Amino acid sequence: MGLLSFFKRQNLSESLDFYHSMFPQRIDPIPEKNTFVVIDTETTGLDKEDDIVSIGAIQIVNGMINPVNIFEITLSTNKRSEESLAIHEVLGETINQGENIEENFLNFMQDNILVGHHVQFDLKMLENWIAIKYPGFKIRNKWIDTANLAKRMHKEELSRMIGGNHFLGLDNLMDLYDIPVENRHTALGDAYMTGLLFLKLVERLRKRGVNRTNDLI
C-alpha cells in the first residue's frame, strides 16, 4: 500500500505517525544507489511568518535527474510582497493543488535524502506549511545543502574573500559550473538547476576522495 493510499484511510495523527515510522533512513553508502529529492520553495518573504506560494521538486535516481517524476504546486495566500513578487512573479492566486496536497508532497518525498540550495530555509517553510494540517510536524529526512558542498569545494577561493555570500549564491555557482539558466526563480526551475549543480559538485568532490553518501550530508 502506497503512502498516499494510507493517508486517505487514516486520521491525521495516525498519518503523521506513519510518516515518522519510516525513520531512521536506510542510506546506501554509494551516492548513485540513493534516490535524492531536490526541493525549492518560492515564498512571500524570508521570515518564518511568510507563506509558501509555490513548491517544486525533482528526483535524482541512479545518478540522473528523472525528467518524468516531478512535483509542482502553486498555493494560495493572502500575503503580498512587492519585493518577492518582483523576483518570482507568483501571485499566489492560481491554485493547482487538488486534494491531499500535503500528503501528495510527503508521498513524493518519502524517506529519501533531500537536496536544496540553502535548504534549511525551504525545510522550515515546508514544516510550517504541513504543520497547519499536522500540528507539530517535523521533517525527519536527511538533507544536503548544495551551498555547503560548494563551500567545501571552494575553500581556498572563499578564504581569500571578504564575506563570500555572493560566491555561494545559486546564480554565481550556475555560471561557475556552466549550468544553463532555465525558469530561474520558479520553484521547479530552481529545483532542476539545483539538481544539476548537485550532480556536478558530487562529481568534483568524488575526485577529492569524497565517495560516501554520509560524507555529503
Shortest CA distance to 142 belongs to which of 18, 66, 35? 35
Q: What is the pTM of this model?
A: 0.84
CATH of 26-212, one of 3.40.640.10, 3.30.70.1430, 1.20.1050.10, 3.30.420.10: 3.30.420.10
Shortest CA distance to 53 belongs to which of 61, 64, 45, 63? 45
Residue 195 has pLDDT above 50, yes or no: yes
Q: How far apart are CA 189 and CA 205, in angstroms?
A: 24
pLDDT digits 0-9 by tens, 74-118: 888 776 555 544 444 444 444 444 568 898 899 899 999 999 999
Q: 186 versus 19: which is more confidently predicted?
A: 186
128 neighbors 103 (Cβ within 8 angstroms): no
pLDDT more than 70, % of the chain: 80
Shortest CA distance to 71 belongs to which of 29, 110, 113, 105? 105
147 in helix, strand or coil? Answer: helix
